[in-house]
Amino acid sequence: SGESGAGKTESAKLLLQQIMNLCKGNSQLEQQILQVNPLLEAFGNAQTVMNDNSSRFGKYIQLRFQKNTVRGAKLSEYLLEKSRVVHQDAEERNFHIFYYMFAGLSSEEKEMYGLLDPSLYRYVSGQFGTQDVAQRWKDKYQEVCNALDMVGFQEQEQVDMQAILAGVLSLGNVTFDPEESNGPIKVSEASQGWLKAAAVDALSQFVCCVPCSLVSPSVSCCCSPCADARDSIAKMVYGRVFGWIVGKINELLAENVDPEVELTEIGILDIFGFENFAVNRFEQLCINLANEQLQHFFNHHIFHMEQAAYKEEGLPWETIAFNNNEPILNLFLAKPLGLLSLLDEQSAFPQATDKTFVDKLNSSFKGNLHFQPAQGRVLGFSITHYAGKVQYAARGFLEKNRDTLPASVRGLFISSVTPLLVPLHIHHEPRTTLARVKCGDEAHVLRHSLMVLMERLYSANPHFVRCIKPNSQKEPGVVDNQMVLLQLRYNGLLETIRIRRDGFSWRPFFEEFAER
């Protein structure tokens, strides 16, 4: 755990490599497990203001062992930031894979997928960078292709996947003419070419509630508002491609052993770090809540359980106080008046708006020490997290929580001309217990996801790797003492040092003690 950009993903990769080295098997399975990371980073990571390779999802890798040999692995993914597909803030980028494709595909391949100059695409903001950056992306694209081969993706699956991604980009450039009085909304003349480009994978049909005639220059659309439907489709398609990749990885890495054989397990959780940007949205709220849960888990193990054990054994012990964040979790998760419950309740009312949601929060949390209404006419609120105060902009909260699609859009997947799009739609099982394939209240999914994750963690014997961010400039070799001290304080590490120094951190079994 740690802030965004503190080094969690790099630490997790080093830990994974070390475990694979200790196995000394160097088997194909071990190589496949190591190849999973560059694949997931390409599709799940992006450049943010705080981190050039920021994980925009959480992952939990379960390694399963028989004696000292790794026999299989399973990956769970959490809360992919799908909104990044359609919108990025200043100085931020979309998911890496889009840039890798532009840099790595040959001219012939780009033509096959209908890809033009990257600066033309709304979803990638025209940010392409220098020649050096382009070369690095080209190398990364080759790395992704190698990883896809190594993990076991078929050639046609890789082609379909890239056709869908290219189609998503083209879909983002489809615009609509203003609605005439009582008439249908029409795809603008200027974006007819983009609509045809998106048809590489039948995505064009999804822009409308009824199948579109791609031949006709005026394509009627009964979705309102059309731009929101277009963006919802792009987010949903990308999310399902990502989920399909994770599912495919799990199929390929599943252990092939007798069910009677007992396997031991090491799990590595690498989850998005605490975030506090200039503008914090629904996604930051979800990320920061997950971090609150992890901090509470840390407190429980390091302070509650440790000190309870000392008291139980009658040891002379002066209780060490720590910053308990349980009241903040209650603010989020309590029923029926926690923030997430209120968000779900408001999302169920068609007439509700982001303003009515904020008004509801202001009245429900009046006097709560961890909640502050926004000043003036700002539509938002602030929450004092364990890591500090964060101001959230409430615009878009209800829409993102509903995460809805036009009802008649869904059936169009079944008749898609791109083979991969059909299974993307007709998966009936959730990709993981943490993300449902069907659309629904994101707050409900988040709450369930965190519950399942915490159950998993509480049933294990945890080791905590606390990553400390040295500076906010993304510079190597620079340590900002005040920034480091702040993190040591809010993470509870100063109290942890006290409990480790004054307590009994090494606990040998009696036989081991006697032998020594």
- Enumerate the known binding-site residues: 2-9
Task: State how far the Cα of 232 lies from the Cα of 240, in Å rounded to an integer.
Answer: 12
Is residue 43 within 8 A of residue 55, CB to CB? The reply is no
DSSP category for residue 491: T
Which position among 55, 170, 204, 496 bears the catalytic label?
A: 55
3-state secondary structure 264-316: EEEEEEECCCECCCCCECHHHHHHHHHHHHHHHHHHHHHHHHHHHHHHHCCCC
Which position among 1, 9, 76, 204 bears the catalytic label?
A: 9
Task: State how far the Cα of 355 lies from the Cα of 462, in Å rounded to an integer.
Answer: 42
- 54 belongs to the catalytic site: yes
- 45 belongs to the catalytic site: no
Which position among 4, 250, 347, 416 bears the catalytic label?
A: 4
Q: Which amino acid, residue 329?
A: L
Binding positions for ATP: 2-9
The string of DSSP letters for 51-86 reads -TTEESSEEEEEEEEETTEEEEEEEEEE---GGGGT
- 511 belongs to the catalytic site: no
Residue whose tokens read 């190594």: 150
Listing from the earlier edge strand, what are the strands of the sheet with 388-393?
371-373, 380-385, 388-393
Which position among 41, 275, 292, 495 bears the catalytic label?
A: 275
- 283 belongs to the catalytic site: no
Angle (CA) 239 240 246, round 5°: 95
H-helix segments, 369-492: 397-402, 407-410, 421-426, 442-458, 481-490
Which position among 1, 37, 51, 280 bears the catalytic label?
A: 51
CA quadruple 375, 380, 382, 388: dihedral sign = negative
Is residue 203 within 8 A of residue 214, CB to CB? The reply is no
Task: State how far the Cα of 71 lies from the Cα of 68, in Å rounded to an integer.
Answer: 9
- 51 belongs to the catalytic site: yes
- 55 belongs to the catalytic site: yes
- 275 belongs to the catalytic site: yes
Which position among 54, 191, 250, 288 bears the catalytic label?
A: 54
Grouping H, G, I as helix, E, B as strand and the rest as coil, residue 351 is coil
Grouping H, G, I as helix, E, B as strand and the rest as coil, residue 452 is helix
Cα–Cα nearest to 101, from 162, 10, 161, 54: 162
- 243 belongs to the catalytic site: no
Question: For residue 342, what are the β-bridge partners?
Answer: none
Task: State how far the Cα of 510 lies from the Cα of 369, in Å rounded to an integer.
Answer: 48
Catalytic residue set: 4-5, 9, 51, 54-55, 273, 275
